[in-house]
Structure 1
């Protein structure tokens, strides 16, 4: 390994197209593409304030690093990359990457982060200002994720989320093959137009949840009082604990709920319009 310590870099492509790098306590200042097209990189205790430092960088390990505001769009088109114990202040991290392992990372501006990526593992992560996070990504495993940002997980496929707190409007739109377990989900219009969305032991908040969904499953979930007009035009199998404010025009399937304030079947109901609603205490 070529070991580089306590150095500062600026300008364009100062470490371009190098292999087997061990970087420690370096600073990337103004400039672009500092570590572009590099392979087998270990980077620790370093900071990045120049744009695009890890584009097309493969087999990289990043630990105890900070990506400053100027280090926006830092990691794109890369494969087999891990990041641990790091702070990301810059937006638009991770695009079109394959094989990401993120642990103990805080994103303070996660706008448009993790787009068009595949084979992602995320553990012990906090992301704020995270609008459109995970757009068009696939094969995602998430655990202990604190999310604050809207329009998350749109158009995603093959997603597993556990033990997380998701504060996010319009989550899981047009997502396919998603399982969410032991999570709190807060936000309007949850899961619209999704397919094969399964929620297990989840608490749900926000108006008009889970409409236009195909093969929707809920197991032992609870609904906040603001969860009104739920399940419109959805095919569903659900077991819901506690009270639901209102259910509107579910398409087909079955719903078992402890109690419900209102069941709406109006002139706008669509065929087959045969969803069975069982109110246990009603």
Structure 2
């Protein structure tokens, strides 16, 4: 593997088409596509300032690197990424990628990040300003994510999340097969139009959660006082510790909670309209 160390590059495609290289303490200044069409690349202690540095890359490991805001859309159309202990200020990271393992990464400007990606592992990640993160992704496993941003995880499939804090409205819309364990989810309109959403030992807050959901399962969860008008037109099986502020027109299934502030079953109830609502 060729070593490139203590260098600076700029302009268009300075390392285009490189294979089997390791770059250390390298700065890539303004320009485009520094490492396009490369394979088997290691980057350690580097700084990326120009646009699109890693496109169409097959197999790369990035550690202790800094992507400035100017390095927008830095990693697209690539596969086989391991990223550790990096700071990513650039928005629109990770598009149309397969095989990502991201650990100990901070993304302070994570808008439109992780779109159309597959086979993703995230651990110990913090993402701020993360509107529309993780759209149309598949086969995702997450542990200890702190997320601040709206419209997250829309249209995702086969997602498993553990030990996370998600401050996000309109999360998990139109999703398939998502399970969240031991997490806090704060935000309005959670999980609308989802299919097979399962929440285990989670705390839910925000108005009108979990409506229009198909085969929603909640196990040993709690709900905040602002989580009102829940479960409208959903098929649901839920066990909830504590009170639910209000339940509105669930479609079918069973809801068991300590108590209810209000149960609304009005003229807009839809068939079958046979959801069992019990106090335990």
TM bucket normalised to smaller: over 0.9
The Cα offsets for residues 133-168 of structure 1, whole Å up to 9 and x where unpaired, read as 000001000000000000000000000000000000
Unaligned ranges ≥5, structure 1:
none
Q: Distance in 1 between matches of 2:101 and 2:35?
A: 19
Q: Tell me the C-alpha RMSD between the 2 structures.
A: 0.4
SS for the counterpart of 2:154 is coil
Q: How does 1:81-100 map to 2 (within 5 A)?
A: 81-100=81-100
Could you tell me which residue of structure 1 aligns to residue 107 of structure 2? 107
SS for the counterpart of 1:37 is coil
Could you tell me which residue of structure 2 aligns to residue 231 of structure 1? 231
Could you tell me which residue of structure 2 aligns to residue 153 of structure 1? 153
The Cα offsets for residues 149-203 of structure 1, whole Å up to 9 and x where unpaired, read as 0000000000000000000000000011000000000000000000000000000
SS for the counterpart of 1:123 is strand
Could you tell me which residue of structure 1 aligns to residue 269 of structure 2? 269
Q: Distance in 2 between matches of 1:70 and 1:28?
A: 11
Could you tell me which residue of structure 2 aligns to residue 23 of structure 1? 23
Q: Distance in 2 between matches of 1:258 and 1:146?
A: 29
Measure how far apart 1:2 and its partner are: 1.0
Q: Distance in 2 between matches of 1:232 and 1:69?
A: 41
Measure how far apart 1:18 and its partner are: 1.2
Measure how far apart 1:40 and its partner are: 0.2
Q: Distance in 2 between matches of 1:219 and 1:87?
A: 36
Measure how far apart 1:279 and its partner are: 1.3
Q: How does 1:108-147 map to 2 (within 5 A)?
A: 108-147=108-147
Equivalent residue pairs, number = 280
Q: Distance in 1 between matches of 2:18 and 2:68?
A: 23
TM-score by length of 2: 1.00
Could you tell me which residue of structure 1 aligns to residue 251 of structure 2? 251
SS for the counterpart of 2:104 is strand
Measure how far apart 1:256 and its partner are: 0.6
Q: Hey, which bits of structure 1, 4+ residues long, moved more than 3 A?
A: none
Q: Distance in 1 between matches of 2:99 and 2:137?
A: 12
Q: Distance in 1 between matches of 2:30 and 2:239?
A: 55
Q: How does 1:20-59 map to 2 (within 5 A)?
A: 20-59=20-59
SS for the counterpart of 2:139 is strand
